[in-house]
Amino acid sequence: MEAPGVPSGKELRLRGRGAQFRSPNFLRLRLENLDVIGMLIGEYKHTIDAKKRLAIPAKLRREIGEGAVLTRGLDSSLALYPAKEWEKMVEKISNLPSGKIDARGFSRIILAGAITAELDSLGRILIPDYLKNYAGLKRNVVIAGVHNRLEIWDEEKWDLYKKKVESEVGNMAERLGELGI
């Protein structure tokens, strides 16, 4: 069955109840149920409990898998990588020139702060104090899916950051246009 906007012979990969067919010529996507395979996307508000546990949204758990790595992120956030993505990140970091001070500093901050984060039976991870303090996490947090990783932000910091970036998105797009974005 062909659908408008989908080139002939191309497969549209969906997981879950994301696609419904109304007629042979029309594909209607129910976006609230759409799961893009292999990609971590979305913005989710959650709370850290008294035992420093954070529930990962159910939609994201299967992409994270059983093994994940939690580490310091950029812009005062934490980064949660699925194991396969963490391996790619470590490979990139290991190829940085150790004679450069920035490379050494980045490597130390990212790798020394990393811990294995296993999801418990309720899909929660434990956030150690040193990472919680690094990101300034309080009770309310935002989990942001950023393609190959999740970023964990203090909710107030995320709101300020997002407001600033949203006001600049047009200028960013123009600058990134040179890179083909």
Residue ranges of the domains in the chain?
A: 1-36, 40-179
Q: What would the 3-class secondary structure string for the chain be?
A: CCCCCCCCCCCCCCECCCEEEEECCEEEECHHHCECCCCEEEEEEEEECCCCEEECCHHHHHHHCCEEEEEECCCCCEEEEEHHHHHHHHHHHHCCCCCCHHHHHHHHHHHHCCEEEECCCCCEEECCHHHHHHHCCCCEEEEEEEECEEEEEEHHHHHHHHHHHHHHHHHHHHHHHHHCC
The pLDDT value recorded for residue 173 is 83
Residue 74 has pLDDT above 90, yes or no: yes
What is the rounded distance in angstroms from the CA atom of residue 146 to the CA atom of residue 55? 17
The pLDDT value recorded for residue 10 is 41
CATH code: domain 40-179 is 3.40.1550.20
In the chain, the percentage of residues whose pLDDT exceeds 70 is: 78
Residue 6 has pLDDT above 60, yes or no: no
Local confidence band at 27 (pLDDT 50, 70, 90 cut-offs): very low
pLDDT, averaged across the chain: 82
Residue 164 has pLDDT above 80, yes or no: yes
The pair phi, psi for residue 94, each rounded to 5°, is: -65, -20
Say if CB 55 and CB 46 are below 8 A apart. yes
The pLDDT value recorded for residue 67 is 83
What is the rounded distance in angstroms from the CA atom of residue 70 to the CA atom of residue 79? 6
Average pLDDT of the segment spanning 124-131 = 97
Q: Please give the angle made by the CA atoms of 137, 140 and 146, to the nearest 5 degrees.
A: 75
Average pLDDT of the segment spanning 61-70 = 87
Among 19-23, 70-74, 115-119, which stretch is predicted with the lowest mean pLDDT?
19-23
The pLDDT value recorded for residue 8 is 45
Write down the pTM of the prediction.
0.76
- What tens digit of pLDDT does each residue of 135-159 get? 999 999 999 999 999 999 999 999 9
Residue 3 has pLDDT above 90, yes or no: no
